[in-house]
Amino acid sequence: MDYKLSEQQVAIRDVAEKFTADEITPQAARWDENHEFPRDTIRRAADLGFGAIYLPEAVGGIGLGRLEAALIMEAMAYGCPTTSAYISIHNMAAWMIASFGDDAVIKKFLPKLITMEHFASYCLTEPDSGSDAAGLKTTAIKDGDDYVLNGSKAFISGAGVNEIYVCMVRTGDTGHRGISCLVVEKDTPGVSFGANERKLGWHAQPTAMVNFEDARVPVSNRVGAEGTGFNIAMAGLDGGRLNIAACSLGGAQRCLDESINYVKERKQFGQAIAEFQNTQFQIADMAAALAAARALTHIAALKVTEDAPDKTQSAAMAKLIATDAGSKIANDALQLHGGYGYLMDYPIERFVRDLRVHQILEGTNEVMRMLIGRSLLS
C-alpha cells in the first residue's frame, strides 16, 4: 500500500481545505452559539460536487472513492464537525437512492439532492430501537399504489428542515427481512416533526423526531425491493462510519494544532509551558493517536471502495478508533488550555462538545466492538 496520497487526492483535499478556511472556519463559532443552520454555506459546498461525492458520474455525481470522501470530510470538520457530519449524512442518503433505487426514483429525487437544492435525512433510529435497528416498529402497510406509514423516527438530523427523508420502515414480519426503504417527502400529509432537540453539541444543525400518522407514500418511492431495507441501511452505514471517523480526525487535528500554538505562547513559572516535559509527552500522545487513527481510516476507506470481504469490519474498526481518539484528543486539548479551554472565546470547548456524539451515532462504539468481535469469531 502506498502511504502517499496521489496528486489528485492532494488536489481534492486542498480544495476542501480552502473551502473550509474561506467559508466554514470564520463562521463556525457563530453558528454554534446562535444554533444557526448554515444552509447557504452547505449549498456552496455542492458547487464543488460535495453534495454527491461518491455518486457515479452517470447520475450526476463526481464519482470519487471513499478515501477521497474521507479527505473532504476531515478537511471540513477542521472548521466545523457539525457541518461536515451534516454533509456526510446527506451524501449517505443520496448514495442509497443512487445505488439501490430504480430509474424512476433516481430521476425523481437525485437531481435536486446533487445540487443540494433539496437536503436529505437518513431515518433509521426510533425512540425504542437505537442499537437494535432490526427492531424498528414504524409500519408501512400497502394500500393500492401507496404505503400508509405510522410511527416515529428519533434523533434525525435535518428533521423539519430537510425536504427528503430516506426512511427504513416495516413492510413485513418482525426482524430485518421485514424492513423496506422508502423516500418520504417533507410536505407529505401525515408527516410532522417534533421540537428541535436541545443538545450538548452539534448546535449548527437541527435534530428532531419525524412522525408519521397515516402518511401515504407512493410505492414508486421505494428504494430497492420490498424487504431489502435493512441490507440497504447497513450498506450505507459502512460509508457513514468512515465519514464520521474522518470528521473526528478533522476535529482532533484542529484541537492538536490549537494546542501546539497555545502551549508555545502560554507562560508559567517563567517559561512557555511547551518547555515542560509533561506538555511534550501530552502533545506526542495526541499526535501519535491521531496518526494511527488516520491510517486505519484510510485503509478502511480503500477496502470499502474496493468492496473487500472485510470492509464492514474495517469500517467499524476505523469508526471505533477514530471517534474514541478524536474525543480524547479534544478533551486533552482542553486540559492543556486550562481554564481558557473551557471558555467559548476559544474553539476547543466546541470541539469537545461536537466530537463527543461521534462515539454514539452511526452505531455506538459498543456496537462497533460487537460487530468486530462477531466478525473475528464467526
Catalytic residues: 362
Residue with cell 407514500: 217
Residue 188 CB neighbour total at 10 angstroms: 16
Answer yes or no: are the C-beta atoms of 326 and 354 closer than 8 Å: no
Residue type, 245: A
| Grid coordinates belonging to 108 | 425523481
Q: What is the DSSP string of 300-351?
A: HHHHHHTT-TTHHHHHHHHHHHHHHHHHHHHHHHHHHHGGGGGSTTSSHHHH
| Grid coordinates belonging to 303 | 477496502
Residue type, 349: E
| Grid coordinates belonging to 153 | 423516527
Q: What is the DSSP letter of 57?
A: G
Q: Cα(60)–Cα(57) distance, rounded to whole angstroms?
A: 5
Q: Cα(254)–Cα(266) distance, rounded to whole angstroms?
A: 18
Q: Cα(69)–Cα(66) distance, rounded to whole angstroms?
A: 5
> Rounded to 5, what percent of the chain is helix, strand, coil?
60, 15, 25
Q: Cα(330)–Cα(254) distance, rounded to whole angstroms?
A: 9
